Structure 1
Amino acid sequence: MGIEIEDKFDVPPDYAIPDLTRFGEVVGPKSHQLVALYYDTPDLRLAARGVTLRRRRGGADPGWHLKLPKARGARQEITRPLTRSVKEVPQDLVELVRAYTRGAPLVVVAELETRRSVTLLREGGAGLVELADDRVKGTAFRDGVKDDGAKDDGAKDGVKVVRWREVEAELLDHGRPELLAKVGKRLRKAGAVPAGAGSKLARLLRPAPPAKAATEPGSAGEVVVDYLASQVTALLAQDPRVRRAEEDAVHRMRVAARRLRSALKAFSGVVTGTEPLQEELRRLGAVLGEARDLEVIRERFGRRLDALPPELVTGPVRARLGSGLREREEEAYGRIRDVLSGDRYYALLDALDAVVARPELGRAAAKPAGKKLDAVALSAWKKVTKAYETAQSTTDPERREIALHDVRKAAKRARYTAEALEPVLGRRMTKLARLAKGVQEALGGHQDGVVAQETLAKEAESARQAGEDTFTYGVLAGLERAAAERAHADVPRVWEETVEAAKKLA
């Protein structure tokens, strides 16, 4: 697996690569002949979402390559060794794109023949930037069969053969982003322009973007549908990463599911009839949450143990709170993979696509976004205030804990609502989101301490039954209780400051 940080440029056939010696030692160019077959569903579901899956021969890295959409400016590439068969895609790569294919077959959709000239910028023998000058011939396939009757730069029955030239600058392990920017600027000065397509395949096939409902510009409907579309994209982008159990992927997917559910609930007057979809998102979030919560608390206990003097760590406590919790976490990942491979999950994804492409729009959808959605955000904040007042009036300790958790959930929904509206309503929503986040985190510190104590009590009982020393569990429980009490004592101060700041936004 690799992370690509690269810039692509379109250049004319007679483009001359400029002198780059000011940026380092220039090595090359070295030529390669590459032939790649690209796989997708017949209706190009992968290409529409910026995913490419290919089998390539030639060059320095022949094999199967799966490129996932950009995240934080970089594309993730997963590689597998070259196989003899051109018909059978490696099964693990098939699994990683199931959120996009949803049972549709993968067929060959294109062939790209590339004459590549590679120039390397390096310093002291270390590679900084690789420059690939590509002359490309792209041929589209129909139903997995090459259309040999198609003419260059023309079409036959809608199938094209296209020739073009492009230059790609990729940052290598020892290079810095500033250098990549300087190289790009030098290429543009010589006549290159930023690529009009994200990939060679997209340039050849011109896949239609995912369908999105036509809404009135500047309307509440436009804002809400655009936000829902962005969160569907975020959820799909994490699917293959969750299947690979990559760091933070479960958290990011869970957040996307929560944001979608929160938006559907908050904007129910704009996009209507989504209650069943909200419930399915709740179910998905709960499954993801099991593994995420175990991951968080395992790391929390690890930090606690590392901070203790060695003499206070007795018995096999590290194994039980480390590898023991990790085993439970891995079991939770297994349940996640089962859910992500089920028809119910694919039905959820279809429903999410539908709510973006063909939403049931309420009367509020046609209203100007500013006034209508501002009222929604303020209503979400009022629910936080009401929940806090309820918690304050609750005297029973157990019920009060539940009520404070309800405040935290309301604050999280208010935060998500405000963040969804930041691009339209600007700084006011940014401030409201920050206030809601502050309340959420203050209450979260208390809640996390309570959950940690409950987990420690269960683990200590298991250790006791196994005849193990339980002294350290008591030490940790004391630390967690103190942390929870400090967070709880700080809540009134945070709330008072938040209320004063919120008055200025009303």
Structure 2
Amino acid sequence: MAHEVELKLHVHPDDLARLAALPLLAERAEGAPVSSRLRTVYFDTPDLRLYGRGIALRLRHDGTRRIQGLKTVAADPQADAAAVAVRREWEWPLDGNTGGDAIDFTRLDAEGAGALVPEDARGELMPIFATDFTRTAALLRLDAQTSVEVAIDDGSIAAGRGDERISEVELELKSGRIGRLFALAQELHRAVPLRIGMESKAELGYRMVSGRAPAPVLGDPPMLSPLSTVAEAFRHIVRHGLRQILANEPCVLAGGDAEGLHRIRVALRHLRTALTLFAPVIAPAEATRLEHEIRWLAHRLKPARAWDVLASALPDPALAPALAEARSPAAERAVAALREPRCTALLLALGVWLEEGHWHAGIARTRLDAPMADLAGPWLAARHTRARKTETPERLRRRLRTLRYGVEFFRGLYPPASVRPYGAALDTLYGTLDALHDLRVAEKRLATLAGGKAVKPLERTAAQHRKALAERVKAFRAAAVFWG
């Protein structure tokens, strides 16, 4: 078994030749690039039992060679690396070109991988989908410790009666630091527009087979341990934010999915909150520029989200067609923003800044290696105090949002039982204020859509929330803090 560490980047088909001809690739290549046609057949049972186990079984034809492979379909969720997919894989060269597309189970069993393909599934295995593409690959030496295989793929994936174009470059780390993958991707993106992709060819093929559109990914909140250092905590939180953006891009790009768009905006707020909370221990110059770019992307996504807020509270279903028509231009602008080279540049810059360690340039090592719990308590206390002194509902909502993200980031540092009561009171109050904010947004949008009379049901709902507000503020102020 090996671990594949890979950064995938989508390329417009018209740019593939230009990408392959970039001097920066030729200058660092160890030998001439090699082109080959790869035809790969993926096997599974009719009910996709292997996919249900997170496994892809494939047979690849590379000229006269046959290579049998078994790999995890999705990136390893335990691998804490933003935008980079870490997958387990096994490969077995088979003899010659004989045997066609037959799977050799003795190879799996001999290396202990046979348990991943159950005995009762083997007799039902059949070709499910296939890829056919030309790969131009070269091994690049980026520095004394770092080598990366650059593979430019041009072809298609066929499943049932449908097919999808494959037009991408894969950067696979053979040795060295993950940050160098992002740095190389940055250089390529400056020359040819690229877009980061987290979906493997196997994931795309299975999605085509099932007919399911890309779905929003909620993801688990960042989870630290009481032993986490400041540096570990910051890296984990930023990686989590990047993963959430990239995981939800496919469903938004496929049709402007409302929940996926919301999850991306939440992830952007998480990143901004992390930059604010950790400001004392991060280098300021680049952080300021990155925060500016994060605000730019959030601003571009905001109008579509405003219409989505109305959709979730729409009092009259008959208005749904008019709402969809009004939302469409905003959704198109949101999709366009995610496709812009500026968006890719932001995500790659975050990756380089984080993984290459530029974020802590000039910061004393003792501060970075300190226990996160030593700093989390004072940070939470300061924001708790500010929230308690806030009077206006909208300002309180914003301050509670920052505090809530801080609690979400740092709750793993404390005993769960001590966090729960405070977290519940905070969530309840913030949820009420957020509902009132959403209703105000919905009322404005609805008034432009159907006139002032249409907002009456929303006003009644808002009145109910306002009625409960005083009691929830009181409960929050009475809640015992957990950070000591």
Task: Write out aligned runs for 1:116-265 (5 A).
Answer: 218-247=228-257, 248-265=259-276
1:278 partnered with 2:276:
no
For 1:86-121, what per-residue CA distance to the aligned partner results, in whole angstroms no more than 9, with x for missing partners? xx769xxxxxxx9997355599xxxxxxxxxxxxxx
SS at match of 1:420: helix
| Residue 61 (structure 1) aligned to one of 138, 159, 163 | 159
Q: Is the 8 A contact 2:245 2:264 kept in 1?
A: yes
Change (3 A) 1:22 1:439: same
Kept after mapping to 1: 8 A contact 2:152/2:168: no
Aligned to 2:478: 500
Q: Answer yes or no: is 1:421 the counterpart of 2:410.
A: yes
TM-aligned CA deviation for residue 407 of structure 1: 0.7
Amino acid at match of 2:442: A
Residue in structure 2 matched with residue 369 of structure 1 by the alignment: 372
The CA deviation at 1:436 is 2.7
Q: Distance in 2 between matches of 1:292 and 1:260?
A: 18
State the AA in 1 paired with 2:304.
A
Tell me how far 1:414 sits from its aligned partner.
0.8
Alpha-carbon shift at residue 269 of structure 1 (Å): 1.0
Partner of 2:382: 379
Distance 1:505 1:294, change over 3 A: same
Shift of 1:253: 1.0
Gap change, CA 1:42 and 1:484, over 3 Å in 2: farther
* Matches of 1:409 and 1:229, distance apart in 2: 24
Q: Deviations over 1:59-83 (max 9, x none)?
A: x7399xxxxxxxxxxxxxx95168x
Contact 1:254–1:288 (Cα < 8 Å) also in 2: yes
Deviation at residue 249 of structure 1 after TM alignment: 1.7
Matched, 1:267 2:278: yes
- Sort the Cα spacing of 1:503 and 1:220 in 2 relative to 1 into closer, same or farther, 3 A: closer
The 1:377–1:18 alpha-carbon spacing in structure 2 relative to 1, beyond 3 Å, is: closer
Q: 1:298 aligns with which of 311, 314, 318?
A: 311
Residue 14 of structure 1 deviates from its aligned partner by: 4.0
What is the match of residue 189 of structure 2?
A: 102
Deviation at 1:265, TM superposition (A): 0.7
| CA distance in structure 1 between the aligned counterparts of 2:263 and 2:187, rounded to whole angstroms | 18
Distance 1:252 1:34, change over 3 A: closer
Q: Report if aligned partners of 2:322, 2:449 keep a CA contact under 8 Å in 1.
A: no
Are the equivalent residues in 2 in contact too, given 1:267–1:376 (CA < 8 A)? no
Q: TM-score, normalised by structure 1?
A: 0.54
Residue type matched to 1:234 in 2? Q
Q: Offset at 1:232? A: 1.8
**Cα distance in structure 1, aligned partners of 2:442 and 2:410:** 34
Contact conserved, 2:386 with 2:399, CA < 8 A, in 1?
A: yes
Counterpart of 1:333, as a letter, is A
Rate the CA distance shift 1:478–1:333 in 2: closer, same or farther, 3 A. Answer: closer
Deviation at 1:246, TM superposition (A): 4.8
The answer to whether the 8 A contact 1:231-1:256 is kept is yes
Structure 1 residues 446 and 33: CA distance shift in structure 2, 3 A: closer
Query: What corresponds to 2:60 in structure 1?
Result: none
Please report how far the alpha carbon of residue 55 of structure 1 lies from its aligned counterpart in structure 2 after TM superposition.
5.7
Aligned to 1:437: 427
Instruction: Provide closer, same or farther for how the CA distance between residues 374 and 81 of structure 1 changes in structure 2, counting only shifts above 3 A.
Output: same
Q: 2:323 aligns with which of 322, 325, 333?
A: 325
What do the CA deviations read for 1:102-154 (whole angstroms, capped 9, x no partner)?
A: 355599xxxxxxxxxxxxxxxxxxxxxxxxxxxxxxxxxxxxxxxxxxxxxxx
Alignment match, 2:302: 289
Ranges in structure 1 where 5+ consecutive residues have no aligned partner? 64-77, 83-87, 91-97, 108-168, 174-216, 307-317, 392-402, 462-472
| Inter-CA distance 269–36: structure 2 relative to 1 (3 Å threshold) | same
Structure 2 unaligned segments of length 5 or more: list them. Answer: 1-47, 56-70, 72-88, 93-105, 142-146, 170-184, 195-205, 211-226
SS in 1 for 2:124: strand
Identity %: 17
- Secondary structure of 2:325's counterpart equals helix
For the residue of structure 1 that corresponds to 2:159, the secondary structure is coil
Per the TM alignment, residue 37 of structure 1 is displaced from its structure 2 partner at its CA by 4.3
RCO higher in 1 or 2 (8 Å CA, sep ≥ 6)? 2
* Matches of 1:328 and 1:40, distance apart in 2: 46
Query: Which is higher, the Rg of structure 1 or of structure 2?
Result: 1
CA distance in 1, matches of 2:461, 2:129: 61
Q: CA deviation at 1:235?
A: 1.8
- The alpha carbon displacement at 1:238 in A equals 2.8
Shift of 1:354: 3.4
* 105 and 460 in structure 1: CA distance in 2 versus 1, 3 angstrom threshold: closer
**In 2 relative to 1, CA 242–29 (structure 1 residues): closer, same or farther, beyond 3 Å?**
closer
**Corresponding position of 1:352:** 350
Aligned-partner residue type, residue 102 of structure 1: H
Cα 1:501–1:27 change in 2 (3 A) is same
Which residue of 392, 406, 412 maps to 2:401?
412
1:371-391 deviation digits (Å, cap 9, x = unpaired)? 11222122222222122xxx2
> Structure 2 CA distance, aligned partners of 1:479 and 1:370?
46
Of 484, 487, 491 in structure 1, the residue corresponding to residue 465 of structure 2 is: 487
Q: 3-state DSSP class of the match of 1:502?
A: coil
What CA deviation, in whole Å up to 9, does each residue of 1:141-191 have, x standing for no partner?
A: xxxxxxxxxxxxxxxxxxxxxxxxxxxx99x97xxxxxxxxxxxxxxxxxx
SS in 1 for 2:280: coil
User: Which amino acid is 2:233 matched to?
Assistant: V
One of 124, 134, 142 as aligned partner of 1:27: 124
1:38 is displaced (CA, Å) by: 4.9
Residue 225 of structure 1 aligns with an amino acid whose one-letter code is R
- Contact residue 227 and residue 420 of structure 1 kept, 8 A: yes
Q: Which residue of 2 aligns with 1:162?
A: none
How many residues of Structure 1 are paired with residues of Structure 2 in the alignment?
Answer: 330
Q: Does the 8 Å CA contact 1:408/1:440 hold for their aligned counterparts? A: yes
On the 8 A contact 1:416/1:433 being kept in 2, the answer is no
> Deviation per CA, 1:336-394, whole angstroms, max 9, x where unpaired?
2443344543442243123313213545434221111222122222222122xxx2xxx
CA distance in 2, matches of 1:254, 1:19: 37
Q: 1:32–1:24: structure 2 CA closer, same or farther, 3 Å change rule?
A: closer
- 8 A Cα contact 2:300 2:334, kept in partner: yes
**How many Å apart are 1:441 and its aligned residue?**
0.6
